[in-house]
Structure 1
């Protein structure tokens, strides 16, 4: 079940990142918002290459401990990411107002939270 939650959370996050390009999310980011849209959008998209590589590489690492820790870090990030979006939702340049945009953001967070809870339960069972 944890694996399904991890992949579902990633799928929601990756889909959100596609939506983020449409909603010009770079306008909310400190270093990118001062650049012209053409430059900022190119940098925003390019930064996703190493980010997505890390998700695939470490999320499938052959060493179980690395893979599990990375997936837990991603799960925590999914929850924090939704909090950042919630805090920015009143910003004048925030455009993630549709139901589907919010479903990607908060759906990923729910998967992350469920993953964290299941990891905690599994750890307690193994420690007992």
Structure 2
């Protein structure tokens, strides 16, 4: 059961990252917000490839101890991610105001909390 809850948290974050591209999150994200728009999009998008390779390795291909620790920290991240969006909610480029975007921000945090509650 815990594995399904974690996978749901992870899948929801991936969904959020797809939405983040649609919502032009690079215009908010520190670093990419300083780049010209097209370059910011390209960098933001391209950085997700090694990020997801690393996360998939940590969650599914590393040692059991590393997998456990990585899932713990990712679940905490999913919760803290809600706070990050709350902090940036008044940024002039913030576009995560529709129901799907809000769901894809909140739901991973809920599943991350649930995962932590039943696992640790």
Question: Under TM normalisation by the shorter chain, which class is it?
Answer: over 0.9
Cα distance per residue 1:6-36 (max 9 Å; x no partner): 1101111001101001100011112111111
1:43 alignment counterpart: 43
1:125 alignment counterpart: none
What is the distance in 1 between the residues matched to 2:65 and 2:30?
A: 34
**SS of the residue 1:60 aligns to:** helix
2:95 alignment counterpart: 95
1:60 alignment counterpart: 60
Provide the alpha-carbon RMSD of the alignment. 1.0
Structure 2, unaligned runs of 5 or more: none
Query: How many equivalent pairs are there?
Result: 120
Please identify runs of 4+ aligned residues in structure 1 that moved more than 6 A: none
Cα distance per residue 1:69-126 (max 9 Å; x no partner): 1111110110111110111112221000001111011000001111111122xxxxxx
User: How far apart are 1:62 and its partner, in Å?
Assistant: 4.6
Structure 1, unaligned runs of 5 or more: 121-128
User: How far apart are 1:61 and its partner, in Å?
Assistant: 2.8
Trace 1:7-86 onto structure 2 (pairs within 5 A): 7-86=7-86
The higher radius of gyration belongs to: 1
